[in-house]
Amino acid sequence: MIQEQTSAVLSALRTIANERKGLEALEEAIRTAGEGGLGAAFSEAVKTISAAPGRVIVTGIGKSGLIARKIAATLASTGEPAFFVHPAEASHGDLGMVQIGDVVLAISWSGETAELAAIVTFAKRYAIPLIAMTAEAESTLGREADVCLTMPGAPEACPNGLAPTTSTTMQLVLGDALAIALLEGRGFTALDFRALHPGGKLGAKLAHVREVMHTGDRVPRIDANARMAEAIVEMTSKGFGCVAVFEQGRRLAGIITDGDLRRHLKPDFSLDTPVSAIMTRRPRTIAPDALVAEALELISHKIQALLVVERGQVVGIVNFHDLMRIGAF
């Protein structure tokens, strides 16, 4: 059993090493910015897609088709209208999904995939820009393309050299690189991303703190001249495990947390102790327009609530349970 596990681990390491070599070859190829290099073609592909008023139609069959579906989904989720068209279905009516103004991204490692013929011919007939992603620049697909992303050759991780492994990893990574380059070129922000991902944990992390914070009388507060007896009552009644300490009723002077209280619970502790003697000065705060993801980074087992400050004024409070409630964890 141990020997079998060792063999499996060694096999996994060989696979990862082979695919890493493919990515290293891809990285080196894309550094070539001169004419005929992948870097130059990549830049041209980004320009072509950016200039197109329509969508990116991604197509491919077999394993390349599965990669094409993922690339289309990544483009769409990062603000570039895109969808997948199955090349076999294209010749049976789905060519109607492709319009003038679109760009076709066709993926085929060999460049000789017969099923791509219909959509390639359609693109050429109606002057729809065609971008090829292939390892063979002189293939049928490579020659027909307006922009050919010629990928470097690399051995498959499969010991028989047959199952698409390294090749599909390279296709996937090049597709991701294309999506990110387009995203950065448009100045696509986290707020734009949220508009396309409103659901689930990701959508929750991209919400603003002001959408989940408690405001007004819900914010626990006490004057710096008050005594600990009053602070404990305020902490207990508001239920956030802390109380904000203010000077002259306006300026935030500090915070007292459950942890501060426990650390000072010694034999000489008195409920008449001034809150200013217990509070932590310069408490950690967050802005109301900050993303929930930022609040998550600040909240920990030691800090379970954050005061929300805007223009020097405390406008709210947000805690661990608020973030759990919206599904950010």
- pTM for this model (two decimals): 0.65
In the chain, CATH 3.10.580.10 covers 209-325
pLDDT at residue 69, rounded to an integer: 96
> CA-CA distance, 313 to 311, in Å (whole number)?
6
Question: pLDDT tens digits, residue range 83-95?
Answer: 999 999 988 888 9
The stretches of the chain forming alpha helices (DSSP H) are: 2-30, 38-51, 62-77, 87-90, 117-125, 140-144, 166-186, 190-196, 200-205, 228-238, 258-264, 275-278, 292-298, 320-325
Q: Is 273 helix (H, G, I), strand (E, B) or coil?
A: coil
**Tokens found for residue 264:** 């000072």
Question: pLDDT tens digits, residue range 87-145?
Answer: 999 888 889 999 999 999 999 999 999 999 999 999 999 999 999 999 999 999 999 99
pLDDT at residue 167, rounded to an integer: 94
pLDDT at residue 295, rounded to an integer: 78
pLDDT at residue 143, rounded to an integer: 95
pLDDT at residue 284, rounded to an integer: 84
The letter for the amino acid at 142 is: G
Give φ, ψ of 276 to 5 degrees: -65, -20
> CA-CA distance, 223 to 237, in Å (whole number)?
16
- The pLDDT confidence band at residue 4, using thresholds 50, 70 and 90, is low
* pLDDT of 197 over the 60 cut: no
Report the candidate in 209, 215, 269, 272 with the shortest Cα–Cα distance to residue 244.
215
In the chain, CATH 3.40.50.10490 covers 2-188
Cβ-count burial 237-269 (b if 16+ within 10 Å, e if not): ebebbbbbbbeeeeebbbbbbeebbeeeeeeee
* Distance from the Cα of residue 145 to its chain's centroid: 31
* pLDDT of 293 over the 60 cut: yes
> CA-CA distance, 215 to 307, in Å (whole number)?
10
> CA-CA distance, 40 to 42, in Å (whole number)?
5
The mean predicted confidence, pLDDT, of the chain is: 86
Q: Given 3.90.1150.10, 3.30.365.10, 3.40.50.10490, 1.10.3720.10, which CATH number is that of 2-188? A: 3.40.50.10490
What is the CATH topology of the domain spanning 209-325? Answer: CBS-domain (3.10.580)
To the nearest 10°, report the CA torsion of 314, 320, 325, 326: 70
pLDDT at residue 301, rounded to an integer: 55
pLDDT at residue 313, rounded to an integer: 85
